[in-house]
């Protein structure tokens, strides 16, 4: 999983844009951690911070300079601290690395040996400095483009406030890496400056710094820095909060405040709705949020619906709406990817027409060639049965949206096989169950699904999205089929 996906997964899991700076600053260490051995006290404090915040943050950001200032024991402390951070939470090393000559070895050490996920870099030596860090496809860099230090204004605002250097850094650095590879670090208390950067780089992740200075307005900062989807902005936990004995309570309060402001901003002017959960299960389904979102945007409906097969179900599923909701569509693609990464294939094929957008997204994400069997063969032109390039003997995984009877997906698979391709696996988003996977297996295919209809209905019932009558209608229908 690359940094971008890992970060988004943790944002979805924690519903938080907060990150924590893990800085062993002796001047900030609470007195209760005082110890004859300074390193021991700092280690205990850092471990406390991680334990108290892991459920409420999207990333951790250790500042390399603090560890280096403590000498060899400090670097040993850094490695111990990295080892304590839960594996699913991204680590952004705040190195501000700026030396071209050591960039290659630095990238290898930090990405390969230390296993950090992203690093901050100085832009002054240009793309040549950044390139050695970008050869690691699953890692990322954050380019320092703006700092709140008053003494830097003479440089950052040069040659004029209308065309300052920091905006040139933003424009230039966008050419160095993709949005998944390269983000921006912005230290400012000025919402206008942040808005200018966001306008130039609407697609980039911005890691904000220095936003908690006295007099700054959090809502203005968020309104300026959030992207059109209501995210894309990483927000630091105030450093002085990390010394509180009840840190978990304090960060939960901050977490709620920020999400409330985000919601207000989204309602005030977003052109793309962003969904937030309103429930919490003790034993939640791994795709709980996705199930609830699908229901909330109208992809899952309850009532008496006649299906394409002629059967009447007490529910109807329409996944075509997801392509108009980038937040949900991205989660659907990631869910498919979790299955596909464990399968072996040369190409992937979508079944017209419902799964073609999904197959296209997966093709781009997995860097895997896509083909598709035509639903009907044209009476003109080349009269191809299969669209796209392929070679007989290759293995194709078939992607579809919903598995009801299995008829359409097997017809598509048979078309592919008639062209000399091998089809072993069929991956769908929702399985209506009733033994259809067994039917696939009887015909030589192994079926995989992200969700089953039972999982969806059970989760919706637990969440209060559907009532007892609707749940009972589904149960009786499932038993009767």
Active site residues: 96
Strand extents, DSSP E, 18-86? 18-22, 59-62
| 3-class DSSP assignment, residue 124 | coil
CB 81 within 8 A of CB 103: no
CB 94 within 8 A of CB 67: no
Tell whether 408 is in a known binding site: yes
CA-angle at 318, arms to 314 and 324, nearest 5°: 150
Tell whether 9 is in a known binding site: no
| Residue 333, both tokens | 């693609």
Tell whether 289 is in a known binding site: no
| 3-class DSSP assignment, residue 284 | coil
CA-closest candidate to residue 416, choices 380, 436, 440, 391: 391
CB 141 within 8 A of CB 132: no
DSSP state of 278: -
Tell whether 403 is in a known binding site: yes
Tell whether 401 is in a known binding site: yes
Tell whether 481 is in a known binding site: no
Show contacts of 249-255: CB within 8 Å, 24+ apart.
251/18, 251/52, 251/53, 251/56, 251/57, 252/56, 254/18, 255/15, 255/16, 255/18, 255/56
Alpha-carbon dihedral sign for residues 74, 79, 81, 82: positive
Tell whether 402 is in a known binding site: yes
CB 216 within 8 A of CB 208: no
Tell whether 41 is in a known binding site: no
Tell whether 32 is in a known binding site: no
Tell whether 406 is in a known binding site: yes
Give the chain's radius of gyration (CA, Å).
26
Compute how many other C-beta atoms are within 10 angstroms of the C-beta atom of residue 25.
Answer: 15
CB 211 within 8 A of CB 221: yes
CA-closest candidate to residue 327, choices 286, 276, 255: 276
Tell whether 400 is in a known binding site: yes
If you search the block for the tokens 């009972």, which residue do you land on? Answer: 472
Residue numbers in the known binding site for 5-phospho-alpha-D-ribose 1-diphosphate are 374-375, 378, 380, 400-408
Please state the residue numbers annotated as binding site: 374-375, 378, 380, 400-408
């Amino acid at each position: 999983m690359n940094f971008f996906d890992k970060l988004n997964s943790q944002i979805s899991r924690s519903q938080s844009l907060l990150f924590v700076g893990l800085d062993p600053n002796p001047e900030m260490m609470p007195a209760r951690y005082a110890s004859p051995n300074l390193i021991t006290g700092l280690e205990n404090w850092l471990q406390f911070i991680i334990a108290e915040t892991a459920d409420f943050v999207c990333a951790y950001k250790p500042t390399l300079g603090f560890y280096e200032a403590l000498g060899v024991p400090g670097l040993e402390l850094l490695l111990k601290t990295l080892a304590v951070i839960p594996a699913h939470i991204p680590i952004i090393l705040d190195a501000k690395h700026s030396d071209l000559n050591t960039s290659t070895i630095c990238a290898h050490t930090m990405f390969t040996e230390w296993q950090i996920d992203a690093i901050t870099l100085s832009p002054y030596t240009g793309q040549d400095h950044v390139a050695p860090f970008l050869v690691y496809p699953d890692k990322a860099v954050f380019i320092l483009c703006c700092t709140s230090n008053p003494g830097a204004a003479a440089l950052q605002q040069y040659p004029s406030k209308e065309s300052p250097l920091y905006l040139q850094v933003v424009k230039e650095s966008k050419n160095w890496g993709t949005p998944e590879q390269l983000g921006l670090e912005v230290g400012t208390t000025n919402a206008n400056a942040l808005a200018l950067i966001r306008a130039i780089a609407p697609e980039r992740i911005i890691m904000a710094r220095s936003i908690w200075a006295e007099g700054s307005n959090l809502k203005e900062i968020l309104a300026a820095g959030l992207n059109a989807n209501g995210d894309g902005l990483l927000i630091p936990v105030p450093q002085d909060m990390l010394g509180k004995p009840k840190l978990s309570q304090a960060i939960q309060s901050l977490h709620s405040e920020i999400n409330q402001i985000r919601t207000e901003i989204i309602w005030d002017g977003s052109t793309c709705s962003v969904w937030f959960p309103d429930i919490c299960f003790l034993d939640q389904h791994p795709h709980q949020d996705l199930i609830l979102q699908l229901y909330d945007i109208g992809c899952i409906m309850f009532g008496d619906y006649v299906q394409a097969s002629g059967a009447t179900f007490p529910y109807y599923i329409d996944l075509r709406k997801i392509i108009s909701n980038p937040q949900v569509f991205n989660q659907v693609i990631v869910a498919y990817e979790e299955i596909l990464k464990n399968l072996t294939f040369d190409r992937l094929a979508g079944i017209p027409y419902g799964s073609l957008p999904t197959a296209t997204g997966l093709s781009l994400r997995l860097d895997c060639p896509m083909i598709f069997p035509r639903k009907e063969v044209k009476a003109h032109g080349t009269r191809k049965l299969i669209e796209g390039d392929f070679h007989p003997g290759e293995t194709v995984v078939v992607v579809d949206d919903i598995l009801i009877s299995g008829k359409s997906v097997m017809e598509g698979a048979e078309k592919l096989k008639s062209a000399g391709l091998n089809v072993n696996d069929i991956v769908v988003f929702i399985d209506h169950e009733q033994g259809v996977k067994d039917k696939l297996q009887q015909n030589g295919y192994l079926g995989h699904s992200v969700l089953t209809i039972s999982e969806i209905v059970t989760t919706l019932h637990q969440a209060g999205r559907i009532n007892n009558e609707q749940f009972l209608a589904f149960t009786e229908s499932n038993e009767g089929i």
